[in-house]
Chain A
Amino acid sequence: MSQMTRRELFPGVWLRAVHTNKFKSSYLSITLLTPLDRETAGANALIPEVLRRGTAVHPNMESLSAALDELYGGAIEPVVRKKGETQCVGFVASFLDDAYVLKGEKILEPAADLLCEVLLKPCTQDGHFSPDYTASEKANLIDRIRAQINDKRTYAVQRLTQEMCRYEAYGVDKLGDEKSVSVITPASLWQRYQELLREAQVEVYYCGSADPDRVAGALNRALSGLPVNENRVDPDCEVRVTAGPEPIVVEEAMDVSQGKLALGFRTGGQTCWEEDYPALTMCNAIFGGTTLSKLFMNVREKLSLCYYASSMMEKMKGLVLVSSGIEFDKYQTAKDEILAQLEAIRRGDIEDWEMEGTRRTLIGGHLSTLDDQGRQEEFWLGQAAAGLDTTIEELVDQFENVTREQVAEAAKKLELDTVYFLKGKGV
């Protein structure tokens, strides 16, 4: 069975360790949690990419790759994520668990050392980041930002949140924007890197067969180069309870053959910190969260109004976002039908199979998270950004007890805030 502990290694530097023999690998991640901000988002996103190019000890990809081979083919990947209004930048790493090495070596300690070397001891030139690495990773990041428009489905939801949260930090993308990335220099990036190391809350995650004291010992040593700061910044998130008096409607025209309609709702203050969170989660799942949902079964399958239609929830910010692909001339019908489905939930118009099928799917999805180190890490990072300690098992218990009436109540509090429509040119 697995056992979980959480402890503070240094002020504002936390370790969550899951002790289990379930897996062949041990999973390690280090994440810096910093407020999402238009000015710094691009630089924050760039930092792990540049760090991954080389360290003072292993100055290029070949030598890093060789070091990882020595550790039985370990992987260290740079990642940037957005949890509420917190930007999370760092690395996820996976190594062979000590139990399965061929010659009795210990992997955890050298793996923790290598991961922290990548974070803390970059390859430098003239006292800041290498101009070569900075320039090529800047170009890669700008390519990634530009490529966001290629996937129109994701793009439409991104534009919806941009418009909806125009005056809130949540409107900033996790990769930042092209303008702020293009002005980054090796020196400015170095300065931002120093600030991050000093100010960000740090979350370390481990899942594997080593006992928590050994993990803490390895990371204490490996992270000893982090600056000491008693006042690292706690993550925070502004929740707007209500939408404006009238929904904002934004239309854009592009050279596309399929229209995208996205609707953004405020949850009326229902968030992961509130008691009604399990009901809101069920409500979103019944509305558009699974293939049994009302949007999928009715708007897509039965009425064939959409190529796809689903909804997702932002649990900290208190948002429900609907995403759909439609024919251009179906804008009004599709929108009316999506709202009609929400109305049905508000009336408590939920069949037994919808209620129970959704509950089973939701619970199955949560429980299977326990079988996957990467998904578990993602869950706990979200909890850390929210400052919560609720476990997956506790959430599952809560889902078991949500009633139809509670789901209807949760639906009643949803307020349509913004509508985004991507249409074809000349329509």
Chain B
Amino acid sequence: MEKLEFARVGETMYHEKLENGLNVFVFPKPDFQKGYAFFATNYGGMDMRFCLGGEWHDTPAGVAHYLEHKMFDTEEGNALQDLAANGASPNAFTSNDITGYYFDSTEKFEENLRILLSFVSVPWFTQESVDKERGIIGQEIGMIEDDPHWKCYMNLMKALFQHHPIRVSVAGSVESIAEITPETLYACHKAFYDPANMVLCVAGPVDPEHICDVAREILPKEAGPIAVKDYGEKEGPRAAQSYIEERMEVSAPIFQLGWKGDAQINGEDRLRQELVGGLALEVLLGNSSPLYARLYREGLINQEFGYSYESSFGCAFLAADGESKAPEAVCAAVAAEAARIGREGVDPALWERVKKGVYGNRVRGLNSFENLCVGQAQAFFAGYDFLRFADIFDAITKEEAEELIANWVTGERTALSVVRAKEET
């Protein structure tokens, strides 16, 4: 078993690739009461087109999420209840990139881990149970479609990208899920829920070797074939459209601003870009930047304002969102500030301060087992180790952030999505 030390952040990570191809990561935490396990597949909402055994499949939007709902069913009943009866709190989520199942518990950790590995690896779908779920997921879709923030975000994706599947909602639509059958679910489970396409991350008072033994015992012995995914041709730098608007029930206009980036291929470059992107946002419009203070004072943004760097396989962008009576003015102010930074550079004192702040927040975030395990699962699928950030971070220069701002925050790469109140009739 491989042992990796991340001394700067006080973490040790054990890694083993099992005979069946499953990658296991364990963070031993002997001082803690609770153990946390995260079992994830490299399969998310955007993996709709794939090739398995030489044959191409085009599946409807929403299959990964539908599968997540149905995986808890077992031949004997329901894994959620089995875990709850053992004092564990289980749950799951589907993102654009991955689907993950998890629980935490202070007792019977091994028994709970067996339940987790077992229900995720053994599918059990019937026509009746799949049909019943359609109503439940349909309601969930109805609920999120009523959410103006979600609508604003999905519109931004449509405006930024020409064809990348990140434009499609993870849950799909009522129409797309109507096509999902037990056979679709079995086929996608077979294509993506093979141990060789999955990771298991565990944090807690556990023995890493023992975790691997349990996984060997429960999961299939050999690796199966893994599907090849297709996201279409590479996105160009231009936003598909610069402005998109929707009318909904909102008390004040809400907006999402996006700047389309150049996606990195998998590996540590992706991590570095994430760190540079985050720092670029801080100096451009972050909470302690001069622009933020000015926009706040002028009433163009309020405490709802937020921002993030985001990336998935084949796409990357900067985003900022909030409430504003004049979203176009916010957009123009950011463009002007980016131009100023282009001319004058980032204030060195601000750079040092922001770097400290971002670093500290990231390290404090490691208190959370969920953050550690989900972070490592996502990082592994993207080709790096989550905790490597601590070493890379220090070496990032002001010039890298300035360059990213100069390259990305430009007119042709900008898109603005706005949701305004319905007009009085």
What is A's interface to B at a CB cutoff of 8 Å?
1-2, 20-25, 61-62, 65-66, 68-74, 94-96, 99-102, 291-292, 353, 357, 360-361, 363-364, 367-368, 370-373
Contacts and interface: CB of A to CB of B under 8 A. Distances in A.
Interface of B: 8-10, 29, 31-34, 84-88, 104-107, 287-288, 293, 296, 353-354, 356-361, 363-367, 394
B288 A66 contact: yes
A231 to B, nearest CB: 39
Contact of A69 (B32, B356, B363): B356
B360 A373 contact: no
Contacts of A361: 84, 87
A413 to B, nearest CB: 27
Given A100-B8, A292-B84, A94 B364 contact: yes
A368 B84 contact: no
Contacts of B359: 72-73, 102
Contacts, number: 100
A136 to B, nearest CB: 11
B83 to A, nearest CB: 11
Query: Looking at chain B's contact residues, is the secondary structure mostly helix, strand, loop, or mixed?
Result: helix
A59 to B, nearest CB: 13
Nearest to A100: B363
Nearest to A290: B84
A72 B362 CA distance: 10
Nearest to B349: A66
A23 B11 CA distance: 11
B332 to A, nearest CB: 22
A65 B287 contact: yes
Task: Choose among B29, B85, B86 the residue with the greatest number of A CB atoms under 10 Å from its CB.
Answer: B85
A24 B84 contact: no
B87 A360 contact: yes
A364 B85 contact: no
B358 A73 contact: yes
Contact of A23 (B104, B367, B394): B367
A371 B10 contact: no
A69 B354 contact: yes
Contacts of B31: 1-2, 20-22
Given A96-B363, A100-B10, A364 B87 contact: yes
A368 B106 contact: yes
A189 to B, nearest CB: 21
Contacts of A102: 356, 359, 394
Contacts of A99: 10
Contact of A68 (B357, B363, B365): B357
A367 B394 contact: no
A1 B33 CA distance: 11
Contact of B10 (A24, A68, A368): A24
A34 to B, nearest CB: 27
Given A24-B363, A70-B353, A370-B33, A364 B106 contact: yes
Given A24-B367, A68-B357, A367-B34, 10 more contacts: A69-B354, A69-B356, A70-B357, A72-B356, A73-B360, A96-B363, A100-B360, A102-B359, A368-B104, A371-B33
Nearest to B361: A73
Task: Choose among B34, B85, B106, B354 the residue with the greatest number of A CB atoms under 10 Å from its CB.
Answer: B106
B34 A371 contact: yes
B380 to A, nearest CB: 21
B154 to A, nearest CB: 25
A2 B31 CA distance: 9
23 contacts: A2-B31, A23-B367, A24-B9, A66-B288, A70-B353, A70-B356, A71-B360, A72-B359, A73-B358, A94-B364, A95-B360, A101-B360, A102-B356, A102-B394, A353-B85, A357-B84, A360-B86, A363-B107, A364-B34, A364-B105, A364-B106, A368-B34, A373-B367
